């Protein structure tokens, strides 16, 4: 039997826990920029916290309109597509430079590598701090090259959704040398949407026209919450703007694990209220999903109120029994810099609505709360309390906890049992897509998962 940090906090650890709590910065949702091209849109999720100087510089060009009618001027299939340096002047029917601002300090970090699907700043040779307006999208894993020259090229965003399909389509376009014999011009790898009959015009170019799709919105309540004096149950809070999704991990009257959800808790000020649901009739995660017997039943209501980003209160009525619990943010890890991509969120498979996994990331540590069903269709939850990130994924032991007390009763952890039931791993293809693989009681399974939008 193993003891988990989520479920066990001995007195001597409380001081450390409070210290970690004070050092943890609440999650901030990233700014998303949409590039409108003739072949489709490319959405880029910026790394506001990890590369603040570079993101602010890029957004300054976007917000000022400097990138209006800018175009991809360099295409090297299997390597990069590059833009941000030139734009089409419709009135003059000619190409002009994007007006550049002052150069910025290089923010390269090995934790933000030049992998396929990332966007990074271009710069002059042998001058790490020379980036201004030009950027490029990596079409392949260019880390061995671009991470190790000229101080490293600063990655400041991740292409999301179907954006790389559009980028690949741009890279597949005809490429011409439009230098006109002047080798000093940068148009020797110019992609064209269509070949001109005479001179190249704006309609032949791959314009980008980026605009801000959504700005970074503070989500101060996002994460894992618990009561340190009642180690064994918890609440995963997923906040998208002013909407909270709360998954509550607790026990029934017989001490068996059970989960509830408040699927839409609309924040008014620092508090929200919503119906509590219990879901049953799903299939266990190691067999094919079948929701024909799924039953969603309202069992009460709950309210979350937050005194600040680290302390709150959970008030509830479940099956006619009421209670109130003080909750605090649970600390997991510390670090010196925010992660390049924060995977904290509610993840699911949109084709298998009825189960999910709430991921909480603090620096290089992940906590996964997996809510699903047992072989009889009863709601059950598992946790991976220590899933250290390595590269673009993490792996850890998977635990099942039983013997706790129902929420409305006075907590008694004397009979609590923490059993290792297998392992779980997450492999992230990008910021929004992953594969979750697991072994539970000797049976294996795997699911593709994405962030759940709400």
Q: For 59-118, what is each residue's pLDDT tens digit?
A: 999 999 999 999 999 999 999 999 999 999 999 999 999 999 999 999 999 888 999 999
In this structure, the dihedral spanned by the alpha carbons of residues 54, 55, 56 and 59, taken in order and rounded to 10 degrees, is 120
pLDDT of the residue at 6: 42
pLDDT at 239 over 60: yes
Tens digits of residue pLDDT in 391-415:
899 999 999 999 999 999 999 999 9
Say if residue 450 is exposed, middle or buried (CB neighbours under 10 Å; 0-12, 13-18, 19+). Answer: middle
**Lowest-pLDDT range of 124-133, 165-174, 329-338:** 329-338
How would residue 450 be classed by pLDDT, with cut points 50, 70 and 90?
very high
Please compute the mean of the pLDDT values over residues 289-311 and round it to a whole number: 95
- The DSSP secondary structure of 222-244, one letter per residue, reads -EEEE-GGGBTBEEEEEEETTEE
Confidence at residue 21, expressed as pLDDT on a 0 to 100 scale:
33
CA atoms lying within 13 Å on the CB side of residue 15: 1
The pLDDT, as a whole number, for residue 25 is: 40
- Contact indicator for 312, 273 with CB cutoff of 8 Å: no
User: Coil, helix or strand for 153?
Assistant: coil
Counting residues of the chain whose pLDDT is more than 70, the rounded percentage is 92
Residue 376 has pLDDT above 70, yes or no: yes
Decide: 400 and 421 in contact? Cβ < 8 Å. Answer: yes
Residues 6+ apart with CB under 8 A from 345: 222, 238, 358, 359, 451, 452
Please state, in angstroms and rounded to a whole number, the distance separating the CA atoms of residues 147 and 152.
4
Residues 350-366 pLDDT 10s: 999 999 999 999 999 99
* Domain range list for the chain: 11-26+218-451, 32-214
- pLDDT score for 446: 98
Asked whether residue 432 carries a pLDDT value surpassing 60, the answer given is yes
CATH topology of domain 32-214: Cyclophilin (2.40.100)
Q: What is the mean pLDDT of the chain?
A: 90
pLDDT at res. 217: 58
Per-residue pLDDT tens digits for 124-146 = 999 999 999 999 999 999 999 99
pLDDT band at 31 (very low <50, low <70, confident <90, very high): confident
In the chain, the percentage of residues whose pLDDT exceeds 90 is 79
Mean pLDDT, range 223-247, rounded to an integer: 93
pLDDT at 50: 80
Element (H, E) at 418: strand 417-428
- Any idea what the Cα angle at residue 239 is, between residues 238 and 241, rounded to 5°? 160
Lookup: tokens for 205: 């170019």
Q: Is pLDDT of 14 > 60?
A: no
Residues 390/424, Cβ–Cβ less than 8 Å: no
Query: Taking a C-beta distance cutoff of 8 angstroms, is the pair 275, 298 a contact?
Result: yes
pLDDT tops 80 at residue 5: no
Q: For the ranges 131-140, 189-198, 297-306, 338-347, which has the lowest average pLDDT?
A: 338-347
pLDDT of residue 340: 76
Tokens of 220: 């101060």
**What secondary structure letter does DSSP report for 68?**
T
């Amino acid at each position: 039997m193993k003891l988990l940090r989520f479920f066990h906090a001995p007195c001597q650890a409380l001081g450390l826990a409070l210290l970690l709590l004070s050092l943890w910065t609440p999650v901030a949702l990233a700014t998303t920029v949409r590039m409108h091209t003739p072949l489709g849109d490319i959405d880029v999720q910026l790394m506001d916290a990890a590369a603040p100087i570079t993101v602010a510089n890029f957004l300054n060009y976007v917000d000022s309109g400097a990138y209006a009618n800018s175009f991809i001027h360099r295409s090297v299939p299997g390597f990069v597509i590059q833009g941000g340096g030139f734009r089409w002047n419709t009135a003059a029917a000619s190409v002009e430079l994007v007006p550049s601002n002052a150069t910025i300090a290089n923010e390269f970090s090995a934790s933000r590598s030049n992998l396929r699907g990332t966007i990074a700043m271009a710069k002059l040779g042998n001058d790490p701090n020379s980036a201004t307006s030009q950027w490029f999208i990596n079409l392949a894993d260019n880390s061995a090259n671009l991470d190790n020259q000229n101080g490293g090229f600063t990655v400041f965003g991740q292409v999301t959704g179907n954006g790389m399909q559009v980028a690949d389509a741009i890279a597949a376009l005809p490429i011409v040398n439009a230098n006109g014999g002047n080798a000093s011009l940068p148009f020797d790898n110019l992609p064209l949407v269509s070949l001109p009959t005479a001179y190249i015009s704006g309609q032949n170019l791959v314009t980008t026209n980026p605009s801000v799709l959504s700005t970074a919105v503070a989500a101060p309540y996002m994460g894992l919450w618990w009561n340190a004096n009642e180690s064994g149950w918890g609440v995963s809070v997923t906040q998208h703007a002013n909407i909270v999704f709360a998954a509550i991990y607790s026990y029934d009257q017989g001490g068996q694990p059970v989960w509830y959800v408040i699927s839409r808790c609309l924040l008014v000020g620092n508090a929200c209220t919503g119906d509590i649901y219990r879901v049953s009739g799903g299939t266990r995660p190691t067999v094919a999903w079948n929701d024909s017997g799924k039953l969603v039943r309202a069992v009460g209501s709950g309210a979350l109120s937050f005194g600040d980003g680290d302390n709150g209160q959970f008030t509830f009525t479940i099956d006619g029994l009421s209670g109130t619990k003080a909750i605090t943010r649970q600390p997991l890890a510390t670090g010196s810099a925010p992660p390049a991509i924060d995977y904290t969120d509610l993840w699911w498979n949109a084709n298998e609505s009825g189960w999910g996994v709430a991921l909480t990331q603090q620096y290089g540590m992940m906590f996964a709360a997996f809510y699903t069903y047992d072989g009889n269709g009863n709601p059950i939850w598992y946790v991976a309390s220590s899933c250290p990130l390595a590269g673009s994924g993490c792996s850890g032991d998977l635990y099942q906890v039983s013997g706790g007390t129902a929420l409305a009763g006075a907590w008694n952890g004397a009979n609590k049992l923490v059993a290792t039931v297998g392992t779980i791993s997450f492999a992230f293809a990008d910021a929004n897509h992953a594969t979750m693989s697991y072994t539970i009681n000797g049976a294996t399974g795997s699911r593709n998962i994405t962030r759940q939008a709400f």
